[in-house]
Amino acid sequence: MLLLMQFLSLIRDITLETQSNEPKCLAYCWTTPVDEDPSPDCPALLQGLEVYATEDALTITHRSGTAYKHMREVVAATSLLPYPKGGVPTYVPAGSGFLGKARGKPEVPETVSAEDYFVVAQYTTPAGDTVARGTLLNEEQLLAREMEAVEDVLAAWCFVPGSLEDDEVPITIFIRLAGRYSFRGVGERMRKFEADVLKLGVRQTRFWEGQGFGFFRQVN
């Protein structure tokens, strides 16, 4: 837990610097689970989402930041956490999600509240089944449009791996809610969504509920 708190402290510094200096970073959010699982089989203690308008905004601008480079130095010197095998995975948006709603000035980033509640659900399509993949994405677009009309849903973003060469393709949905109480109605709609896509042989391979910190920008 001490290592987690140390890493979160470094990430908070990066968040503040990124929010102030990187207008092409559209979302930067890190969450910890609301119900901690102490078992050794718990897959992770953190779930992050970073969205950039361009690849250069990530690889050049963000990774040149003072706080980011300090984090990398600390990690390298202390083995605070292992570097992902094959590098940090990147994804591309899919579907018709939204990162914010038109409230105030869209260019001003909206800071995540301590009450905000995040849900991450990942679904994996059968190997080589392009029909199931296409249907899943179509259903996700319908879900996102419905979510945008719900006041307490502040963001809904769907993404897939940057390369679709793998036989099985994970499709991830990231939802930001105004509070934990908001998940009751949204959860009912998501269960209907899941019931429809699971009939296609799609598997739910990850589900996460958390709270954290960060910011989101309105995407026009």
In tens, the pLDDT along 45-55 reads 788 899 999 99
Q: Do 62 and 48 contact (CB within 8 A), yes or no?
A: no
In tens, the pLDDT along 200-213 reads 899 999 999 999 99
Task: State the CATH number of the domain containing residue 170.
Answer: 3.30.70.100
Q: What is the tally of structural domains in the chain?
A: 1
Long-range CB contacts (< 8 A, 24+ apart) of 43-46? 43/206, 45/4, 46/4, 46/7, 46/8
- Identify the sign of the CA torsion 132, 133, 136, 137: negative
Q: DSSP secondary-structure letter at 214? A: E
Q: Which residues of the chain have pLDDT under 50?
A: 38-43
Cα–Cα distance measured from residue 27 to residue 214, given in angstroms and rounded to the nearest whole number? 8
Whether this model's pTM surpasses 0.85 = yes
Say what the pLDDT of residue 126 is: 86
The number of helix segments (H) and strand segments (E) in the chain equals: 5, 8
- DSSP H helical ranges for the chain: 2-21, 55-56, 66-78, 130-148, 183-198
- State the chain's maximal CA–CA distance in angstroms: 48
Say what the pLDDT of residue 40 is: 45
Say what the pLDDT of residue 128 is: 82
Nearest one of 49, 61, 119 to 88, comparing CA atoms? 49
Q: Do 11 and 212 contact (CB within 8 A), yes or no?
A: no
| Boundaries of domain holding 47 | 1-216
